[in-house]
């Protein structure tokens, strides 16, 4: 088995299936994009070819089970089917750049990957780099994770005598929308510890993430013909603009890093009479998240005072919680990961994730689930790229974890 070529062929196959999350359907249907079911069907056919049994359902969840031959705790390895909709994610045309020599990579629409600005590229001399053609994202988040898990399964099928524990491969829909795990069939999962393969560069692991809330803000105005609008019209779009301008730019994603939290407008829609705004609220500290949620209520009252006759309502719900405390209470989870990395001479790069994963939701359900690198960079952008060498290391790490 040529592991790199197996990983590459799988990854190229998976990214060409259109699976961007459709946030407008979050909470209404799962999966939000039927393309995720197409990818799930492909994965099931590949599992069938390997004679690996699995659970699946109409929402796209797959839990495959491969029996081991060694008495070590079973683990689950998880990745998600969907990709972000922050930039175009349909009709992805992956580009393979073999034997990379630290040159600029020029793609369509003026997209340039410059190693002088993207220093991670400088560590990839001689590597194979995969990008999109520049018109879309690539989809390494998280089809690289899917490829790593599927190649890991293929490896064990081809090497049945290797001593290892039981392993479950878990594929989930709608991670990017934050709502997919609300439907997770927990009773079908046998493992008590798990790992998502859904992080960034070589060696990166995450066991702390945001407390994440999604706030839905509804603006109700008064519409009338502009010629008769004086002292009557209340423009819901103008109310929304005023509200957005109250969100501190110093607490935006582009102005913060590390453990600093943030909030930002993520989606807008509507007209003069009614308009809706989605605001993402994030912080590693629960108190800071609630401070921002209270601020949104304050902004709503201020806008109603500034626009007499208009109404603003704010409703928020928890998307996922910081998994750090729960994982730290289960020392075996990190110990097993760090020991496996040591055997492969992979230097751990422990970072608080400025986002969240399905692992955070699974941790809250009682199955601790830190996050492992894929080799992907610049996620959710047209400059997204993947290191094939790093993806191979992620797959080898999955293999070592299963060996126990």
Catalytic residues: 82, 175
Q: Which residues pair with 317 in a beta bridge?
A: 214
Look-up: residue for tokens 């609220």? 281
The answer to whether 349 touches 372, Cβ cutoff 8 Å, is no
Phi, psi of 355 (to 5 degrees): 170, -150
3-state secondary structure of 249: helix
Which helix (H) or strand (E) is 27 found in, with range? Answer: none
The answer to whether 79 touches 180, Cβ cutoff 8 Å, is no
CA 229 – CA 309 distance, rounded (Å): 13
The answer to whether 82 touches 38, Cβ cutoff 8 Å, is no
Omega within 30 of 0 (cis) for the link into 142: yes
Q: Which residues pair with 387 in a beta bridge?
A: 129
DSSP 277: E
DSSP string covering 327-389: HHT-HHHHHHHHHHHHHTTPPPEE---SS--HHHHHHHTT----EEE-SEESTTSTT-EEEHH
């Amino acid at each position: 088995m040529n592991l790199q070529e197996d990983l590459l062929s799988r990854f190229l196959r998976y990214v060409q299936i259109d699976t961007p999350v459709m946030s407008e359907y979050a909470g209404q249907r799962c999966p939000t994009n039927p393309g995720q079911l197409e990818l799930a069907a492909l994965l099931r056919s590949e599992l069938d070819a390997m004679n690996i049994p699995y659970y699946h359902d109409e929402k796209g969840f797959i839990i495959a089970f491969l029996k081991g031959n060694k008495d070590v705790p079973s683990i689950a390895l998880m990745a998600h089917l969907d990709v972000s909709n922050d930039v175009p994610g349909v009709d992805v045309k992956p580009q393979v750049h073999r034997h990379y020599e630290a040159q600029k990579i020029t793609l369509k629409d003026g997209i340039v990957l410059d190693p002088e600005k993207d220093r991670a590229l400088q560590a990839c001399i001689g590597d194979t780099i995969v990008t999109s053609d520049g018109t879309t994202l690539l989809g390494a988040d998280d089809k690289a994770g899917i490829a790593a898990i599927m190649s890991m399964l293929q490896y064990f099928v081809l090497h049945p005598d290797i001593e290892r524990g039981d392993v479950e491969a878990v594929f989930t829909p709608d991670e990017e929308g934050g709502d997919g795990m609300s439907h997770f069939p927990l009773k079908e999962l046998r493992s008590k510890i798990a790992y998502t393969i859904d992080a960034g560069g070589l060696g990166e692991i995450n066991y702390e993430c945001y407390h994440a809330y999604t706030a839905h803000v509804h603006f109700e105005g008064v519409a009338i013909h502009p010629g008769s609008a004086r002292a009557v019209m209340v423009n819901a779009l103008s109310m929304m603009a005023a509200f957005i301008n109250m969100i501190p730019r110093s607490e935006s994603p582009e102005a913060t890093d590390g453990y600093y939290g943030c909030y930002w407008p993520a989606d807008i829609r509507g007209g003069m009479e009614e308009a809706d705004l989605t605001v993402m609220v994030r912080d590693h500290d629960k108190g800071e998240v609630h401070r921002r949620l209270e601020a949104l209520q304050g902004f709503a009252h201020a806008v109603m005072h500034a626009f007499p006759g208009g109404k603003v309502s704010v409703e928020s719900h928890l998307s996922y919680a910081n998994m750090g405390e729960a994982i730290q209470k289960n020392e075996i989870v990190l110990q097993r990961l760090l020991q496996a990395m040591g055997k492969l001479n992979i230097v751990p790069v422990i970072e608080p994730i400025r986002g969240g994963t399905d692992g955070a939701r699974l941790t809250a359900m009682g199955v601790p689930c830190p996050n492992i690198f894929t080799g992907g960079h610049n996620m959710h952008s047209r400059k997204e790229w993947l290191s094939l060498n790093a993806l191979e290391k992620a797959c080898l790490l999955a293999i070592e974890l299963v060996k126990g």
